[in-house]
Chains A and B, each alone.
Chain A
Amino acid sequence: MEEEKIKTRIRFQKIGAAAFISHLDLMRTLGRALSRAEIPAAKTNGFNPHAYISIPCALSLGYEGTREMAEIGLPPGFDPASIPERINPVLPRGISVTEAYPIQRKSAEIAFAEYDLLLEGGGEKGARASALLSTRPLVVMKKSKRREEETDIAPLIRRVEPTGQGFRAVVACSASENLNPRLLGDALKKLAPEEEFRVRLTRRGRFFDQSGEEEFR
């Protein structure tokens, strides 16, 4: 990108069956939709040029996201506010852009993300899960590429609160520290195997900065 480009953040939803569109497929899908919508996004200069898109926090396959982020470069003078109405008619079912704005803060400042876990059994189960997940330490088996080891995930959990359908957890989401919410389900199974916690759906919502309180936009 040699010419001047305005780095722009696009916020989008990925819900329903679209949760099963992988990270890589999502990048290509967004790239093509930009092209269909004739949004002049900057291109890569590689072997096979395509729209330059960066998705700072990849969402695990199968999770919904309501405030996901993607970043593109736009020429000066292009109004990012026009992006949703241009692109939404040309996106696949389940994906829609809610807003687009020039980037003020770098995505490296993202420290936490909020996940809603919907449980079978609803609110009651959610209250019980929130209590269990406040236990410290919270040791689960964490699988990495090579090995499986016991890890205390409590330091990665900022807060947990019950909701009508389950619970909401704010957990680490950065390059250095990241918690896959699947481990919250694993922890519940380990702490109270007889209670049969079953996660129906995991949905990512807002992002937070280091303070853990202020929403990152």
Chain B
Amino acid sequence: MDLIEKYPRLAEILPSVEKPARYIGGEYGSPVKEEAELSLVFCFPDTYEIGMSHLGMRILVGLYNDTDGVRCERAYAPWVDMEAKMRENGIPLYSLETGTPLRDFDAVCFTLQYELCYTNVVNMLDLGGIHPLAAERGEDEPVVIGGGPCTFNAEPLADFFDIFIIGEGEEVNRELALLELACKKEGVSKKEFLRRASRLGGVYVPSLYEIGYHPDGTLASITPRDGAPEKVTKRIVSDLDHMYFPKSFTVPTTEAIHDRAMVELFRGCIRGCRFCQAGHTWRPLRRKKPETVLRQAKEHISYSGCEEINLLSLSSSDYRDLETLCDELLTYSEPKGVGISLPSLRADSFSVELLEKLQRVKKSGLTFAPEAGSQRLRDVINKNITEEAILNACGMAFAAGWNGVKLYFMMGLPTETYEDLKGIAEMSDHVLYTWRKTAANKNRGAKITVSTSSFVPKPFTPFQWAAQDTESMLRDKISFLRDNIHAKSVTYSWHEPKVSKLESVFARGDRKLGAVIYEAWKRGCRFDGWDEQMKFDVWMAALSDLSLDFDFYATRARGEEEILPWDMIDVGVTKTYLLAGWHDALRGIPWPDCRQKCSNCGARRLNNGVCVTD
């Protein structure tokens, strides 16, 4: 149905807001399913352009609509201008398919990809006519479900959600929907449904866990109630070749950030960089066969008409059959003018021949992530890559006609010194020198970009115990790099440290932060991950008004004996393994990758002992 017919006021509102096409729905491939017994709305708590770039949401919306008796629609966070107009005109947050207010669905599902979207979750619930606090919601209000990487420590959101799904959704999401459908038919209470859900495996019901605290604010106990499991074990899908994958998806009518078809190559990562949450929480390793990738890629290209396909994984060049797969895919895609892009290329296993082939259809830039400026620090973080490998890769690319490269680094890593930072400046000089030696075409000049982000310690990594630098330390480091990167053809850019500070608070935060999120939202916080929207002072005031200490969450190193807020979650990788990694990090000892030698991280027990490193 046309949304302007449903909400005539939209005709007057839309001309006055930015990018109105975000709010009109009706895209090609938008799931329109007739009345089903159970209705869900899948929400992305950030803008439409970001949400439409997300493969997980594509898969799960498809999965629900592929389930008998279930229909699933979509909603995104309205930008601040649209929110104001909607509130002014009494328009609730609606689904893009049928314009149904969020409150009229049986369940509202959020994918939680980023810590600084939490106020958007609260805002979307409120704008959708749902009480944001789970404890205040009535029997007739929807069940609110969260999934995605942030649920590995969902404690800051515990007040707002009924259920968190831990791990991969292709199986458990369907099981949970069918359970809700059965409970709805049976007419059981929400409480009883939640109790039953907590037994599904991979389902964390926060209200069934009681948290006790020591006087110093750290956790004293986590007590499951009502038969809920002591540990909620992450769900994975064993067989990626037979796993659900949609044949179609919704193609945005207005530009998305990543506006393209997407297919995964494999899940997990053999590398084990010690700062990287995904590298640990996606284990054990499982891969799609090249023929599966090829079939799905062709289906999505032909369905969507997109000009580009992205082959996704945490480290593309670690996929054994990458070259032959790309060759075969190119025979299909090149005549159609469809380009192939590969994110996450490692400098040490990168093939310039492959990149040149891909360039025939669509030109793209070159990006490497050395992450740290010195070999010492790269050993600490277990980023097993040498400067030589990076310069070598850059040299080959420059010789083949590229005239620039982007280099990503992190600052504020554990044990970091100014020597290490100086290494970043030096490496950029060495890359420039390599360009002078090797570039095929010097006429256009070199364009080297150095970007730094600030390290945020994340749960379920060896660095989960680490302290984060203070804001002033980070600012000093940024100015140091600004002073030490001289060459005109090297551009330095950095992430705003305030954003990273707040990320850090929520990444490792506990349940007490729920009140802070609620208060900050009431005081107008939205889109906190957007520099221009982030109201850092409001957050500081909300924390201190609730007698909570910012540095307790962000800057404090965690004790090894401490009960961590996410200790009721089992992601496969064991705490013993992470702790050993932390100790070796502090001693500067890197570990072999999973292909060289298994380090017994513990994740393969989730897959009957199977971890496919090849």
Contacts and interface: CB of A to CB of B under 8 A. Distances in A.
Interface stretch (B116-124, B231-239, B247-255, B278-286): B247-255
A91 B26 CA distance: 9
Contacts of A192: none
B337 A93 contact: no
Contact of B303 (A29, A36, A43): A36
A17 B306 CA distance: 23
Given A49-B361, A62-B15, A21 B305 contact: no
Nearest to B251: A32
B24 interface: yes
Given A22-B21, A49-B361, A90-B28, A36 B2 contact: no
B355 to A, nearest CB: 16
B20 A20 contact: yes
Interface string B328-355: 0000000011010000000000000000
A4 interface: no
B254 A22 contact: yes
Contacts of B24: 17-18, 20-21, 94
Contacts of A35: 305, 336
B612 interface: no
Contacts of B337: 43, 49-50
Contacts of A47: 362-363
A25 B15 contact: no
Contacts of B336: 35
Given A17-B25, A20-B21, A25-B21, A62 B305 contact: no
Contact of A48 (B14, B27, B28, B307): B307
Interface stretch (B3-11, B85-93, B487-495): B3-11
A24 B206 CA distance: 46
Interface string B456-496: 00000000000000000000000000000000000000000
Contact of B302 (A17, A24, A36, A93): A36
B89 to A, nearest CB: 16
B26 A94 contact: yes
A16 B28 contact: no
Contacts of A94: 2, 24, 26
Interface string A36-79: 10000001000111100000000001100000000000000000
B361 A17 contact: no
Contacts of B23: 20
Interface in A78-131: 90-94
Given A25-B253, A32-B305, A17 B339 contact: no
A91 B3 CA distance: 17
Nearest to A63: B15
A18 B5 CA distance: 12
Contact of B15 (A28, A29, A61): A61
B434 interface: no
A43 to B, nearest CB: 5
B26 A200 contact: no
A36 B306 CA distance: 9
A201 B11 contact: yes
Nearest to B24: A17
Given A17-B2, A22-B21, A28-B255, A92 B305 contact: no
B30 interface: yes
A205 interface: no
Contacts of A31: 305, 307
Contacts of A49: 307, 337, 361-362
Nearest to B306: A32
A116 to B, nearest CB: 15
B363 A17 contact: no
A36 B301 CA distance: 9
Interface residues of A, number: 30
A122 B122 CA distance: 42
Nearest to B12: A200
A144 B398 CA distance: 45
A55 to B, nearest CB: 15
Contacts of A92: 26-28, 30, 253
A34 B21 contact: no
A33 interface: yes
A93 B306 CA distance: 18
A50 to B, nearest CB: 6
A200 B4 CA distance: 12
Interface string A170-205: 000000000000000000000000000000110000
Given A17-B24, A21-B254, A90 B305 contact: yes
B21 A21 contact: yes
B305 A61 contact: no
Nearest to B26: A93
Interface-centre pick from B30, B305, B336 (highest chain A CB count, 10 A): B305
Nearest to A34: B305
B304 interface: yes
Interface in B228-276: 251, 253-255
- Among A18, A24, A43, the one with the most B-chain Cβ atoms within 10 Å of its Cβ is A18
Contacts of B339: 48
A21 B11 CA distance: 13
Given A16-B5, A36-B302, A50 B26 contact: no
Contacts of A20: 14-15, 20-21, 23-24
Nearest to B250: A92
B363 A36 contact: no
Nearest to A46: B363
A28 B255 CA distance: 9
A115 to B, nearest CB: 16
Nearest to A201: B11
A101 to B, nearest CB: 23
Interface string B15-37: 10000110111111010000000
A34 B307 CA distance: 12
Nearest to A26: B253
B47 to A, nearest CB: 15
Given A48-B339, A62-B15, A18 B304 contact: no
A33 B305 contact: yes
Interface string B287-311: 0000000000000001111110000
Contacts of A33: 28, 305
A16 B4 contact: yes
A63 to B, nearest CB: 10
Contacts of B251: 32
A31 B254 CA distance: 13
Given A25-B253, A43-B337, A50 B307 contact: yes
B4 A48 contact: no
B3 A17 contact: yes
B133 to A, nearest CB: 33
B216 to A, nearest CB: 54
Q: Which 4 A-B pairs have the closest CB atoms?
A: A93-B26, A32-B305, A35-B305, A17-B24
Given A21-B21, A31-B307, 18 more contacts: A16-B26, A18-B26, A25-B253, A25-B254, A32-B28, A32-B305, A32-B306, A33-B28, A36-B28, A43-B337, A47-B363, A48-B362, A48-B363, A62-B20, A90-B28, A90-B305, A92-B28, A93-B26
Interface of B: 2-5, 10-11, 14-15, 20-21, 23-28, 30, 251, 253-255, 302-307, 336-337, 339, 361-363
21 contacts: A16-B5, A16-B26, A17-B14, A17-B25, A21-B24, A22-B254, A25-B253, A25-B254, A31-B305, A32-B305, A32-B307, A33-B28, A43-B337, A49-B362, A62-B14, A62-B15, A91-B28, A92-B26, A92-B28, A92-B253, A93-B25
